Amino acid sequence: MPDRLIECVPNFSEGRNPDIIRQISEAIESVGGVKLLNIDPGYAANRTVMTFAGLPESVVEAAYNSIIKAAELIDMSRHCGEHPRIGATDVCPLVPISGVTMDECIALARGLAKRVGESGIPVYCYENAAFFPERRNLATCRSGEYEGIEKKIADRRWKPDFGPYMYNETVRRSGISVIGAREFLVAINFNLNTDSADVAMEIAKDVREKGRKIVENGVARWQRGPLKGCKAIGWYIKEYGVAQVSMNVTDIDATPVHIAYEQVCRKARDRGVEVTGSELIGLLPKRVLTEAGKYYGARSGLPENMKEEELIELAVTSLRLADLAPFDYRKRVIEYLI
């Protein structure tokens, strides 16, 4: 494994056309020093998450190639899907893995954003690469979604960090890309035995850090949820016939994934439904599963000296990660793929 290594996890607004997905993946793989680790398309979300890693400069080049290719192939004026989105390459984060600091990733992300902007695609920088505090949050950058960008970029407060700030034909097709630098994030959906998106959304509000807006004595305020570093929404996935709590765990130290799962289970039961399993989107670090295995092993009274493989298999079973499709952890754990 190289001494200096970063990961990139771009989300493209296309999950239904395999030819477009193939061409974008080929744009990534055309760069030496990069390994494409995973391609995870979602039909209902109409979104594909790709994960690749390698030498920092090579990863940035592959990211640029994929963003340009996505803008060439995806017409956002025709896009629809369950997942919030604002651009053909909706979000493109760089993640330090080894031998690279977060400050270095910030500089790489901003350099990538500048280059993408010069190609004619407007860009917001988010998370650690944000130039403004209000742009750290991806959901805030994406507010209004694609349909609202003509008005958004005309607003002085939301002038893109790079690229055009006048609505034109290129922007109409590409939308806006959000580029940044962040730590590891785990994207996971929790399946419910209901088809009610409203119920799923209420559970999401029950658990996510942001919580829900309430009114007390005529004053509105946010009532925070228990899961620090977790963002969540609820939706119905026609493809599976179930509603899901769709969650991004942005701080796996503050909230381990198994704790998020247990909290969603509790709040679901409070609302008269059950969590039937989980759906991982993309990849995850090995320790997410080994820590979950230790948690469920201790709860079941199993020996403390379980082997790594045993811990991971226990985690996969306990989190019910194979609820919707077979789950091979060897193809979903970053360390096994690099």
What 3-state DSSP class applies to 338? Answer: coil
Average pLDDT over residues 102-131: 97
Considering the entire predicted model, what is its pTM? 0.82
Q: 1: pLDDT confidence band, cut at 50, 70 and 90?
A: low
Report the C-alpha gap between 330 and 310 in whole angstroms: 13
Cross-strand pairs, 48: 12, 41
Whether pLDDT at 2 is above 70: no
Mind listing the pLDDT tens digit for each residue in 280-299? 999 999 999 999 999 999 99
For residue 282, what are the contacts with CB-CB under 8 A and spacing of at least 6?
Answer: 9, 38, 40, 49, 51, 187
Report the C-alpha gap between 188 and 111 in whole angstroms: 30
Break the chain into its structural domains and give their ranges.
5-181, 186-337
The three-state DSSP-derived secondary structure of 128-187 is: CCCCCHHHCCHHHHCCCCHHHHHHHHHCHHHCCCECCCCCCHHHHHHECEEEEECCCCEE
Q: 314: pLDDT confidence band, cut at 50, 70 and 90?
A: very high
**CATH superfamily of this structure's domain 5-181:** Formiminotransferase, N-terminal subdomain (3.30.990.10)
| Cβ neighbour number for residue 29 with a 10 Å cutoff | 15
- Report the greatest alpha carbon distance in the chain: 63
Average pLDDT over residues 7-31: 97
Tell me which amino acid residue 212 is: R
| Average pLDDT over all residues of the chain | 95
Tell me which amino acid residue 144 is: G
pLDDT of residue 3: 79
pLDDT of residue 98: 86
Q: Spelled out in words, what is the top-level CATH class assigned to the domain 186-337?
A: alpha beta
Mind listing the pLDDT tens digit for each residue in 82-100? 899 999 999 999 999 989 9
Q: Active-site residue numbers?
A: 83
